[in-house]
Amino acid sequence: MFDIASGDYGFVNGCLGMYQRFANSIGASKLNVCYDQATGHGTDRVIGGGVWLWGSEPMTLLDAKKIIIWGSNPVYSTPQNWRIIKEAQRKGAKVIDIDVIYSATANKSDEFIPIVPGSDLMLALAMTNYIIGHNLINVPFMKARTTAPFLVRKDNGKMLRKSDFDSQTDPKEDDFYVWDSVANQPVLLKSGPKDVAIEGTYNVKGLDVETVFTLLKNHVKQYTVEKASELTKIPVEKIEYLARTYADSPTMVYTNYGIDHYQNGHLWAFAALVMASLTGNIGVKGAGFVGNYVMYMPLNYKGAFYTNGKAATSKIPQTIFHQVVKDQALAGKPYPIKAMLTFCSNSMSNMGQQNVWFTDILPNLDFHVVIDFELTDTARYADIVLPAAFWMEVDDLRVSYNNPYMMMQEKAIEPLYESKPPVEIFGMIARKMGLEKFFPQGVDDTYWVKMMLDTDALRKMNVTYDRLKAEKAVRVQGTSEKPYIRGEKYFLTKSAGRAQLYAENPLPRVNYGQDLSQITKKERLPYFKAPGEAWRDNPLFKKYPLVYIQEHSRYRVHSQWFNTPMLRELDPEPLAKISRKDAESRNIKTGDIVEVFNDRGRAVLKAEINDAMSPGVLSIPKGWQREQFIKGCYQELTSATSDPMAVNFAYFDCLVDVRKV
């Protein structure tokens, strides 16, 4: 099993790199990463692009009239983007922050709207209902760029297509039906209707149908602003104000993974993108979604990674890995896993429900190797640790989040001590396994960089090794005058490149045999689903009345830099941040040693009364290692339970209590 995450995004020595050549050469298994995936799973239903290609270039923020920062704290997590937001604010953009805590971002925004954890989905649904009910929709955009006018069969919930009446239709030519309001009859989209109806119920050759927008409009009527106010604790007037403000385009939503970390996170993203599509707040200048901008690059993946016809499989999600290792089976069939190699990942610290490593994973693995440049929790419990050279010690090729440049990473110094470039480590292992033809002796990082760049598509873009070597960084999407807007020309959907307001055939992000029979039809439209655990109606709430979140620290990137001396001077130890009200009711003062606990585990550490925390919410900033707690660890408290569609760790969907030790 290859256990790979996001510790280094290099195309040679990182998680996007040559480890894949090694894994494919032996036909290994790869764990399917299950964090930060729910947001993208929801956006994919509307604009396509998989789980990553949903955000516009951050510089597009400068064209926004309003910026709604929703469930994110860019002052700490992405300061390079916060600089752009501040510039937009200085130019006149209004910045509104929606969050469960009064973060540094909230402090610097024009307006802060506190919300109940996990209720963001209800807010988005109610705003959508209000926007439709008060005719704040952008009808021309809906007609031209969304599936609002597409017809849906009432008998089976499928889109009405040419193939419904002609079974011999070539799938590539299977067009969608719409209703031409001028001709007053159904026509195929490609036939060029004079004007399409976005609302109405019709009968086409004996089949009762209605438009996607009619279906959506009737569906969201149940999500009133009054109901949303009850669940979110945001006043009705404020929700109405938010809806009107959002609909007055261009409005940008800035988000990352705060809402992603609840079991309903993908549905929030689904609802938010539908709302954007109804108001024309996507794919246009100054509007859309930012916070996670990623580029797809046409590199030589086939030549670099695929060698002898074998391919590593990736059907086991991290969320169920502990059970698969314990049972040595997947979906009731034998799936023996005896050895694991961890690279670019601190899995023990970053996967939910940490104690399963001690009860299910480590006791049932014969051999575990970790390649890393820090002695992480995962490394401490491994059989062998192979020290990797740091980024400054290797040559590499990379693109980065929120950055439209491809960069040539040049080695600053030679690898120190016993460390080696990861691609060299994989090559040494591969040659000992008789795979020298895939990892020839004597090649260096530059050899692999040149191999990755060897494509006609890149040459057409004038992205070459020589140019990168000379310029160091080359912009490969958009320009400084016209930054890249996701979906400006078309969306990456199968619905004629339109934004999809209706998910005709919702699929799980990873299919590992889970039962979806009761939810598939419900997932065609965004609907309210309460958080799995962190919700007041959960009977467990009486026992554990605090919603537990693990906010992103300004002093670490996930768990990287957990032991950097300079940063430890600024942030010396983990703290349990608690509201004044919750602390006083438990007789807790700042500096007291407390135990944060639930049925899964505990963390013993110092408390800090923090007036940024809302009552009912407790936070331990993430990234600390087990050795840095008095006892236990913050990740013992989280759960491996996930939504069966999103298949994503729901870190914030968690209840705890705290007591003084």
Asked whether the bond before 531 is cis by omega within 30 degrees of 0, the reply is: no
* Judgement on whether residues 357 and 458 belong to the same structural domain of the protein: yes
* Judgement on whether residues 214 and 233 belong to the same structural domain of the protein: no
Residue 490 domain-assigned (yes or no) = no
* Judgement on whether residues 110 and 240 belong to the same structural domain of the protein: yes
Count CA atoms closer than 13 A to 551's CA, side-chain side.
30
Domain of residue 569, residue span: 539-660
At residue 308, the pLDDT reads 79
Count CA atoms closer than 13 A to 508's CA, side-chain side.
18
Residue 251 domain-assigned (yes or no) = yes
Domain end point (choices 454, 475, 496): 475
Q: Which residues, 6 or more positions from 596, have their beta carbon under 8 angstroms from its beta carbon?
A: 548, 576, 602, 603, 604, 605, 618, 620, 634, 637, 656, 657, 658
Provide the 10 A C-beta neighbour count for residue 519: 16
As a whole number of angstroms, the distance between CA 113 and CA 251 comes to: 17
Provide the 10 A C-beta neighbour count for residue 77: 20
Count CA atoms closer than 13 A to 98's CA, side-chain side.
27
Residue 190 domain-assigned (yes or no) = yes
At residue 315, the pLDDT reads 87
CA 76 and chain centroid, separation: 18
Nearest to 53 by CA among 336, 367, 401, 376: 401
Q: Is the dihedral of CA 439, 443, 445, 449 positive or negative?
A: negative
pLDDT digits (tens, 9 = 90+) for 294-337: 999 999 999 999 887 788 888 899 999 999 999 999 989 999 99
* Judgement on whether residues 583 and 645 belong to the same structural domain of the protein: yes
The list of the chain residues with pLDDT below 50 reads none
Domain end point (choices 274, 290, 306): 290
* Judgement on whether residues 436 and 468 belong to the same structural domain of the protein: yes
CATH value at residue 637: 2.40.40.20
CATH value at residue 324: 3.40.50.740
As a whole number of angstroms, the distance between CA 337 and CA 342 comes to: 14
At residue 307, the pLDDT reads 84
Coil vs helix vs strand at 315 = strand
* Judgement on whether residues 376 and 350 belong to the same structural domain of the protein: yes
Residue 512 domain-assigned (yes or no) = no
As a whole number of angstroms, the distance between CA 263 and CA 241 comes to: 27
As a whole number of angstroms, the distance between CA 141 and CA 149 comes to: 11
Q: Is the dihedral of CA 234, 240, 243, 245 positive or negative?
A: negative
The length of the chain in residues reads 661
Residue 499 domain-assigned (yes or no) = no
* Rounded-to-5 percentages of helix, strand, coil across the chain: 30, 20, 50
* Judgement on whether residues 62 and 158 belong to the same structural domain of the protein: no
Residue 486 domain-assigned (yes or no) = no
Q: ∠ CA 373-568-345 to the nearest 5 degrees?
A: 30
Indicate the number of domains in the chain.
4
At residue 310, the pLDDT reads 81
CATH value at residue 106: 3.40.228.10
Coil vs helix vs strand at 373 = coil
* Judgement on whether residues 225 and 121 belong to the same structural domain of the protein: yes
Helix (H) or strand (E) holding 247: helix 236-247
* Judgement on whether residues 271 and 392 belong to the same structural domain of the protein: no
* Judgement on whether residues 586 and 641 belong to the same structural domain of the protein: yes
Buried b (16+ CB within 10 A) or exposed e, 316-348: bbbbbbbebbeeeebeeeebebeebbbbbbbbb
pTM of the shown model = 0.97
Residue 22 domain-assigned (yes or no) = yes
Residues facing residue 208 across a β-bridge: 203
* Judgement on whether residues 118 and 208 belong to the same structural domain of the protein: no
Q: Are 124 and 233 in contact (CB under 8 A)?
A: no
Q: What is the pLDDT of the chain when averaged over all its residues? A: 96
* Judgement on whether residues 22 and 46 belong to the same structural domain of the protein: no
Residue 438 domain-assigned (yes or no) = yes
Domain end point (choices 475, 498, 525): 475
At residue 434, the pLDDT reads 95
pLDDT digits (tens, 9 = 90+) for 539-561: 999 999 999 999 999 999 999 99
Q: Give the β-pairing of 655-660 and 593-597.
A: antiparallel
